[in-house]
Amino acid sequence: MPPISLSPDQVASVIYLVILMIAIIGYGFFSASGKVPFGKVVQASLIWLCVFIGVIAGYALWEDVSQTLLPRQAVFAEGSIVEVPKARDGHFYLTLDVNGSPISFVVDTGATNMVLGPRDAARAGLRADDLVFSGWASTANGTVQTARVILDSVALGGITEHDLPAVVNGAQMDMSLLGMEYLSRWDEVTIGADKMTLRR
């Protein structure tokens, strides 16, 4: 049987859970010693057991959410290399500074443009009233209006692009899309089994 290897975070979690279980058992023991009715001891133990299970469930849920929605992108070599792990849903997520504001994107190599949802466009300083929605695009939710824009700056790691063309979607989106218009500006983009690497 291969040895079990735990990360420092996992070791800390195990220690926390062991301490919690010791507290539960200790509470039950001392309550019984003090001649507290057995039913009360059982009731208190069940409450603590529910708390224990809730902590485990919450920790597991947070691990899933953080892996999917909060990718740990890493920047190397003075910002010229960016590595992004694949999320559990199979996608790659990047956070870029668009016009000075951090915006999260899902990488879509099948998309031509960088596509901003209305909320992200507003965060980047693009007012809907100032945009001209003269284009149309077909999506899974039907046909939507789009507006072409020029972004003053788009930064990732130590690399900043200026005057980058993009599209603002007239309908709400779960997350903005990072298409080939931006990705092609990197010298090399490689996608492996578990990570994506951008090099300049």
pLDDT single digits (tens) 143-155: 788 899 999 999 9
In terms of residue numbers, what domain contains 44?
8-69
pLDDT, tens digit, for every residue of 65-104? 444 444 467 766 566 889 999 988 889 999 999 999 999 9
Identify the CA nearest to 99 among candidates 155, 180, 158, 146: 155
Together in a domain, 165 and 127: yes
My answer on whether 83 and 54 are in the same domain is: no
3-state secondary structure labels for all residues of the chain: CCCCCCCHHHHHHHHHHHHHHHHHHHHHHHHHHCCCCHHHHHHHHHHHHHHHHHHHHHHHHHHHHHHHHCCCCEEEHHHCEEEEECCCCCCCEEEEEECCEEEEEEECCCCCCCEECHHHHHHCCCCHHHCCCCEEEEECCEEEEEEEEEEEEEEECCEEEEEEEEEEECCCCCCEEECHHHHCCCCEEEECCCEEEEEC
CA 152 to centroid of chain Cα atoms: 25
Does 167 share its domain with 129?
Answer: yes
Count the domains in the chain: 2
Q: Are residues 133 and 42 in the same domain?
A: no
Q: Are residues 86 and 65 in the same domain?
A: no
Last residue of a domain, one of 50, 69, 88: 69
The tokens for 82 are 């960016």
Average pLDDT, the chain: 78
CATH code: domain of residue 172? 2.40.70.10
Report pLDDT digits (tens) over 7-46: 455 556 666 666 666 666 665 555 555 555 656 656 666 6
Domain final residue pick, 69, 86, 116: 69
* Six token digits for residue 134: 């003269």
Together in a domain, 184 and 94: yes
- Determine the pLDDT at residue 137: 79
- Quick one: angle between helices 38-69 and 8-33, nearest 10? 170
Q: Full-prediction pTM beyond 0.75? A: no
- Give yes or no for a contact between 151 and 129, defined as CB atoms under 8 angstroms apart: no
Residues 85 and 48 in one domain: no
Could you say which of 69, 90, 107 is where a domain stops? 69
> Is residue 187 domain-resident?
yes
